[in-house]
Amino acid sequence: MSERLVTLRHDQLCDLCHRKIPAGEKAYLVRDDFWPMDVRFEHRGGCPESRTAENTGEKNTTSRQ
């Protein structure tokens, strides 16, 4: 996985907490090295209020380690 810090042009959903990341805010763009079409977004500096899928019991397909 490769990641970079980008400024969003459009609203995106965080793939960890499923909350909206507004346009103009910086976020991590995470791309799979083997599937470049698979692009994910994460909040910069962690998800607000620590509401991740682990805490809510939702199924999480991504993990940042």
Averaged pLDDT score across all residues of the chain: 80
Look at the block and give the residue holding tokens 């079409």.
Answer: 37
Residue 47 has, within 13 A of its CA and on its CB side, a CA count of: 20
Helix, strand, coil distribution of the chain in percent, nearest 5 = 10, 30, 55
What six digits make up the tokens of 37? Answer: 């079409």
Kindly report the pTM of this predicted structure: 0.67
Q: pLDDT tens-digit profile of 8-39? A: 999 999 998 989 999 999 999 999 888 878 88
- Domain boundaries of the chain, sorted by first residue: 2-47
- pLDDT band at residue 65 under the 50/70/90 scheme: very low
